[in-house]
Amino acid sequence: MQQKVILLTGASSGIGRETAIRLARQGHHVYGAARRLQLLQSLQAQGVHPLQLDVTDPSSCAAAVQAVVSAEGRIDVLVNNAGYGHFGAVEDVPLSEARRQLEVNLFGLACLTRLVLPHMRHQHSGRIINTSSIGGHFTSYLGAWYHVSKYAVEAFSDALRMELRPHGIHVVLIEPSSIRTPWGEIAAQHLEEVAQPASPASPSSSSSPSSSVPLVPFLLARFHRAPPFPPLPLPPLTVTPVPTSTRAGAPPPSSAASGAPA
Ligand SMILES: NC(=O)c1ccc[n+]([C@@H]2O[C@H](COP(=O)([O-])OP(=O)(O)OC[C@H]3O[C@@H](n4cnc5c(N)ncnc54)[C@H](OP(=O)(O)O)[C@@H]3O)[C@@H](O)[C@H]2O)c1
């Protein structure tokens, strides 16, 4: 098997850490990147080169890609794995946090992709592997911004695949289901932060979080146990069929007969 030069984000924990170790064992030149350098140092003994990286910082992204290319002269694979889940009711999650969710899960991935592309196009080869989620296909309670980010990764990757096919660069989507990692704890932490009940000193009831609904403790318990997308004990939704005569494009309810204005 040909040895590949691989830059893998989110290598300090969970899926990324295990993947980095496994790829290094297979003989690939793996550069494992994340913010927590002390966690990455322990990967060195497993043959992974640690790289400090904050995917929300364009200069940090540029330095990481440059470090790989300077050391190896090429970059064959980018694994965009860094990510987290910010859960909470839309009304409660500040837009600054929503933007941060997209900065990490979407724009960080896009930033690194744009930086590796000139090298991959020059090589006429490469592979970009983006970690989405089954949550890139369906939406769960209180997960608006996480799912927005993963749906966006799906669309971004599908478009990129078309663009890059003529250059011999492949784009792959990974859509994990529930995997036991610190992801659940981090999602629970964010949910707890935004779902705090209003303090007694809070004068206005309108400032009380809308998400203080029975779902929050339920979701928290499930996050702490790891699966991010639990089945919820809710009654099934009842959908009232729309009469065909009122659907868009359908003729109005026999106005001539009723005498109502068109
Ligand atoms: N676990 C699951 O069940 C599951 C299911 C579907 C999809 N996923 C996706 O799989 C990916 C990996 O998740 P995981 O379960 O392995 O979670 P994890 O154990 O919490 O790992 C997340 C990784 O992302 C890195 N990261 C977070 N923010 C970063 C930033 N600003 N810059 C650079 N790195 C950053 C973290 O490193 P630092 O904090 O050190 O920077 C960490 O290494 C994520 O994209 C997640 O959404 C997970």
Ligand 1, pocket residues at CB < 6 Å: 9-16, 34-36, 39, 53-56, 81-84, 104, 131, 133, 176, 178-179, 181-183, 186, 228
> Which residue lies with its CA nearest to atom 25 of ligand 1?
10
Tell me: pLDDT of 136 over 50: yes
What percent of the chain is predicted at pLDDT more than 90? 69
Give mean pLDDT, residues 74-99: 96
Tell me: pLDDT of 71 over 80: yes
Centre of ligand 1 to C-alpha 81, Å, is: 6
Q: For residues 37 and 142, give the distance between their C-alpha atoms in angstroms, rounded to a whole number.
A: 32
> Which residue lies with its CA nearest to atom 17 of ligand 1?
183
Q: For residues 190 and 142, give the distance between their C-alpha atoms in angstroms, rounded to a whole number.
A: 11
Adjacent-strand bridge partners of 34: 52
Q: 16 near 82, Cβ under 8 Å?
A: yes
> Which residue lies with its CA nearest to atom 46 of ligand 1?
83
> Which residue lies with its CA nearest to atom 44 of ligand 1?
83
- Angstrom distances, CA of residue 207 to CA of 10, 92, 188, 198, 245: 35, 9, 21, 7, 43
What percent of the chain is predicted at pLDDT more than 70? 78
Centre of ligand 1 to C-alpha 207, Å, is: 31
- Which of the listed residues 12, 17, 40, 101 should we mutate to test ligand 1's pocket, taking the one with most ligand atoms within 8 A of CB? 12
Half-sphere exposure of 226 (CA within 13 A, CB side): 7
Centre of ligand 1 to C-alpha 82, Å, is: 4
Give mean pLDDT, residues 75-81: 98
Q: Under CATH, what is the fold of the domain 5-181?
A: Rossmann fold (3.40.50)
Give 253's DSSP letter.
S
Centre of ligand 1 to C-alpha 14, Å, is: 7
List pLDDT tens digits, range 2-44.
999 999 999 999 999 999 999 999 999 999 999 999 999 999 9
Domain residue spans of the chain: 5-181, 185-224
- Angstrom distances, CA of residue 79 to CA of 22, 27, 208: 13, 16, 40
Catalytically active residues, by annotation: 146
> Which residue lies with its CA nearest to atom 42 of ligand 1?
10
Query: pTM for the complete prediction?
Result: 0.85
pLDDT band at 49 (very low <50, low <70, confident <90, very high): very high
Positive or negative, the CA dihedral 92, 93, 94, 95 is negative
List pLDDT tens digits, range 103-135.
999 999 999 999 999 999 999 999 999 999 999
Centre of ligand 1 to C-alpha 181, Å, is: 9
Helix (H, G, I), strand (E, B) or coil at 70: helix
Tell me: pLDDT of 74 over 80: yes
List pLDDT tens digits, range 225-259.
654 454 444 455 555 666 655 444 444 443 333 33
Give 44's DSSP letter.
G
Task: Find the range with the poorest average confidence among 82-91, 148-157, 231-240.
Answer: 231-240
